Amino acid sequence: MREVYVAGIGITSFTRLEYPLVEIAAYPGLMALRDSGIKKIDHLYVANMGSCRINHQSGLASAVVDHMSLTPAGAETIENGPASGGSAIKQGYMAVASGLHDVVMVIGAERMREVNSLDATDFVATLTHPHAEYIYGITLPSLAGMFTRLYMEKYGVTSRHLAMVAVKNQANAMDNFYAHIQQEITIEGILDSPEALTNNPYVADPLRFFDCCPVSDGGACVILATKDVLKKLEKPMIKLSGVGQATDSHAIHERKEPTDLLAVREAARQSFEMAGIKPRDVDVAELHDAFTILEIVESEEVGFFKKGEGHIALEKGVTKIGGELPINPSGGLKARGHPVGATGVAQAHEIVLQLRGEAEKRQVKNAKIGFTCNLGGFGNNVICLTFVKEEN
């Protein structure tokens, strides 16, 4: 296999965006071309979950490659629910590693403003099991609520721990110009104050408003290329060193232990093994915190902390910027936002910024190894990526 490097990155603000989906996708692509100095690509992947339903657009990748005047490069749309971005990066990896293509652009984009909040909840719920879950009216927040309750009872996680994730990630996002949520919150304000029940109402007990990611529009891009291409660009050598992916039972009740996310465990194991590193070698990570509980659980399943001890590390400040292993310096899905198809690419974007030392006020010092975990479904299709900075 040929080695694969990140040649360029780009991102839009994650927020409510006025402009059409094709442009939400193209804009970070053009930023990444400028960032890299590359003018021509061999192939394009666009990660997107719902354009066919939400935006009345199929063949999105063909539209985007034309909109950027990058024809005749081939193009596909990759869909893996909220892990579409991670999946698209994996395809880009294989396209370059195989020798078929030298320069591959990977964009993630989603425009969710066309659906109202009820529709958005239904749309995201279509990734649950069609006959065992969806038809009974399950939603992602309700699944996550039940999962959280079990986790609390089993491992001693409290509402206070969940709130700590929200407070940390919203604080991180204050230093991220592109983040959706630009609001500093406190434990006092969202849990203890008399206004807390109004400010932070229950969504699906025990999950409250500030435990859930927002519904965002946005796009992000990474350009992957061979080592030879990178050397000519004089860019930092950020290598995509590990690619792991695993699936699990679709219906959660079929899992042996519903509080385990085995696909996260397996995808992370593959990614670390391929990169030749151990979990605790990681300097900075972006985890898939669509709900606050998920950051805690993933930090255990990927091997950063022992099972059931993620909330203790959180409590000690280990996962803050300045801690031993900062998690979600970008603000994560919780605060950077979660345009479903774009999220996996945005995670990689943040890690590349961090490894390049370009993350400004939220820079993790001496970050050399970065990691992302992107969940499709409720942990039933997971992509973990490991990025390593090589000295030029």
Angle, helix 84-97 to helix 343-356, in steps of 10 degrees? 60
Binding mask of the shown chain, residues 104 to 123, with x at each position contacting a copy of itself by CB under 8 A: -------------------x
Which of these ranges, 9-17, 54-62, 194-202, 313-321, lies near a copy of itself under the rule CB under 8 A? 54-62
Q: Which two tokens stand for residue 275?
A: 């990169």
- 129 vs 168 by CB, closer to a copy of itself: 129
Residue with the two structure tokens 């992957």:
224
Among 3, 16, 30, 52, contact with a copy of itself (rule: CB under 8 A): 52
SS (H, E, C) 265-279: HHHHHHHHHHHCCCH
Binding mask of the shown chain, residues 256 to 275, with x at each position contacting a copy of itself by CB under 8 A: ------xx--x---------
Peptide bond into 141 cis (omega under 30): no
Among 80, 172, 372, 374, contact with a copy of itself (rule: CB under 8 A): 80
Q: Which of 217, 220, 210, 204 is nearest to 338 (CA)?
A: 217
Residues contacting a copy of itself: total by CB under 8 A? 64
d(CA 384, CA 349): 14
Residue with the two structure tokens 């990734």:
127
- 223 vs 252 by CB, closer to a copy of itself: 252
Among 94, 120, 312, 318, contact with a copy of itself (rule: CB under 8 A): 94
- Partnered with residue 220 across adjacent β-strands are 11, 108
- Partnered with residue 383 across adjacent β-strands are 245, 374
- 262 vs 364 by CB, closer to a copy of itself: 262
Binding mask of the shown chain, residues 160 to 189, with x at each position contacting a copy of itself by CB under 8 A: ------------------------------
d(CA 361, CA 155): 34
Q: Based on the number of CB atoms within 10 Å of its own CB, is 256 exposed (0-12), middle (13-18) or buried (19 or more)? A: exposed
Among 10, 81, 242, 329, contact with a copy of itself (rule: CB under 8 A): 81
CB neighbourhood size of 167 (10 A): 21
d(CA 6, CA 4): 7
Which of these ranges, 63-71, 147-155, 230-238, 327-335, lies near a copy of itself under the rule CB under 8 A? 63-71
Pair 218, 12: CB distance under 8 Å = yes
Q: Considering only residues 281-310, where is the footprint of a copy of itself by CB under 8 A? A: none
Check residue 50 for interaction with a copy of itself (CB under 8 A).
yes
Residues within the interface to a copy of itself (CB under 8 A): 1, 20, 22, 43, 49-50, 52-53, 56-63, 65-67, 71-81, 87, 90-91, 93-95, 97-100, 123-124, 126-127, 129-131, 134, 243, 245-251, 262-263, 266, 376-377, 380-381, 383
